[in-house]
């Protein structure tokens, strides 16, 4: 595999040296820029996931394979090279959830609309709804009422919405608190926020594996982590036992949040406003809290 890449780049360089022109230089720079950008995006998608550790292991394996060939360690090099032959298939199998998620994100139109700036009018509405969700979460926390509020982002989760009771209602703190009132028809399951509305209530979420979360966390938190791993949705969780507010995002749980920190996380990840230099400290503030 490594020898094949070396031969490709050697042949590529030799072929282009014979046809050097301004156009070829521009296309080469464009080619390299696109490749570097794609590699950067792949690393961003994988970073912070379980696949990230595996990716680092694969990089180490490639380095060892190269060194074994350079040092003439024939047997070791033969074994590692043979494994590399099936590397692409192994990567597809191992990284299947991450690849599916990346392709889903690529297929959404929201990112293109953000790039063109045509969805700026939605930001005020989104921010208003975030404050309403935060108010509801704090009220539910005070009353020790468990809650799951899923905020859909780029990746659509229509299959999850279909498992619940369709509402298509405007977001209000009073309605959210009322939905999670114990012993009412809609309090079990999750509320899905989609397109700035309460799309459905009493929705069923996929559960994360037991090994992914602490044993003291229950089904509600496991469900929140599960949906945040399978999509780019964020989930606001209110614990019925402790009243603590948490957010599940990208398969991780940020626990015991104050109202102001909850709003900061939601605004940063849902509205995706440009981060100015004086906002860079937000990340450290969130971690410290």
**pLDDT tens per residue across span 252-285:** 899 889 999 999 999 988 886 444 334 344 434 4
Range name among 82-91, 232-241, 257-266 with the lowest pLDDT average: 82-91
User: Do 196 and 276 share a structural domain?
Assistant: yes
Q: Is the confidence at residue 99, as pLDDT, over 70?
A: no
Residue 288: its pLDDT value, please? 43
**pLDDT tens per residue across span 175-210:** 999 999 998 888 889 999 998 999 999 999 988 876
User: Do 123 and 71 share a structural domain?
Assistant: no
Predicted model pTM: 0.58
Is position 139 within any domain? Answer: yes
Which 3 state secondary structure label does DSSP give 147? strand
- Of 233, 230, 253, the C-alpha closest to 191 is 233
User: Do 131 and 166 share a structural domain?
Assistant: yes
Residue 278: its pLDDT value, please? 40
User: Do 132 and 89 share a structural domain?
Assistant: no
Number of domains comprising the chain: 2
Would the CA dihedral through 266, 267, 270, 272 be positive or negative?
Answer: negative
Which 3 state secondary structure label does DSSP give 238? strand
Is position 234 within any domain? Answer: yes
Would the CA dihedral through 9, 10, 15, 18 be positive or negative?
Answer: positive
pLDDT tier at 104 (50, 70, 90 boundaries)?
Answer: low
Which of the listed residues 77, 106, 135 is the one where a domain comes to its end? 106
User: Do 180 and 77 share a structural domain?
Assistant: no
User: Do 154 and 258 share a structural domain?
Assistant: yes
Is position 112 within any domain? Answer: no
Q: Is the confidence at residue 91, as pLDDT, over 70?
A: no
8 or 172, greater pLDDT: 172
Local structure of residue 253 (DSSP, 8 states): E
The C-alpha atoms of residue 65 and residue 81 are separated, in whole angstroms, by 7
Is position 111 within any domain? Answer: no
User: Do 171 and 48 share a structural domain?
Assistant: no
Residues in a beta bridge with 254? 247
User: Do 176 and 94 share a structural domain?
Assistant: no
Is position 113 within any domain? Answer: no
Quick check: 259 and 271 in contact, CB under 8 A?
Answer: no
**pLDDT tens per residue across span 32-79:** 899 888 878 777 766 655 566 667 777 888 888 888 888 888 888 888
User: Do 236 and 137 share a structural domain?
Assistant: yes
Q: Is the confidence at residue 115, as pLDDT, over 60?
A: no
Residues in a beta bridge with 233? none
Residue 261: its pLDDT value, please? 92
Quick check: 253 and 260 in contact, CB under 8 A?
Answer: no
Is position 222 within any domain? Answer: yes
User: Do 206 and 88 share a structural domain?
Assistant: no
User: Do 162 and 24 share a structural domain?
Assistant: no
Residues in a beta bridge with 247? 236, 254
**pLDDT tens per residue across span 128-155:** 999 999 999 999 999 999 999 999 988 8
CATH of the domain at 234: 3.40.1700.10
Which domain range does residue 254 map to? 119-288
User: Do 28 and 151 share a structural domain?
Assistant: no
């Amino acid at each position: 595999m490594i020898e094949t890449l070396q031969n490709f780049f050697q042949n590529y360089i030799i072929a282009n040296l014979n046809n050097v022109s301004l156009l070829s230089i521009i296309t080469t720079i464009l080619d390299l820029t696109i490749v570097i950008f794609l590699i950067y995006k792949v690393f961003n998608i994988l970073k912070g996931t379980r696949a990230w550790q595996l990716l680092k292991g694969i990089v180490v394996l490639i380095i060892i394979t190269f060194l074994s060939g350079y040092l003439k360690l024939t047997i070791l090099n033969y074994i590692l090279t043979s494994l590399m032959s099936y590397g692409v298939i192994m990567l597809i199998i191992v990284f299947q959830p991450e690849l599916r998620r990346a392709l889903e994100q690529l297929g959404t139109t929201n990112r293109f609309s953000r790039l063109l700036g045509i969805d700026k009018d939605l930001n005020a509405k989104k921010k208003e709804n975030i404050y309403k969700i935060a108010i509801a979460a704090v009220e539910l926390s005070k009353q020790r009422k468990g809650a799951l509020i899923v905020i859909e982002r780029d990746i659509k989760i229509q299959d999850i919405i279909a498992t619940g009771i369709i509402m298509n209602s405007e977001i209000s703190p009073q309605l959210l608190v009322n939905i999670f009132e114990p012993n009412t028809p809609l309090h079990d399951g999750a509320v899905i926020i989609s397109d700035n509305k309460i799309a459905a209530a009493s929705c069923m979420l996929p559960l994360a594996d037991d090994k992914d979360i602490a044993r003291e966390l229950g089904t509600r938190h496991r469900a929140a982590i599960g949906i945040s791993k399978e999509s780019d949705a964020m989930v606001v969780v209110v614990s019925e036992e402790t009243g603590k507010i948490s957010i599940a995002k990208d398969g991780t749980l940020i626990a015991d949040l104050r109202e102001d920190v909850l709003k900061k996380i939601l605004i940063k990840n849902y509205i995706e406003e440009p981060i100015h230099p004086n906002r860079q400290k937000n990340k450290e503030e969130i971690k410290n809290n």
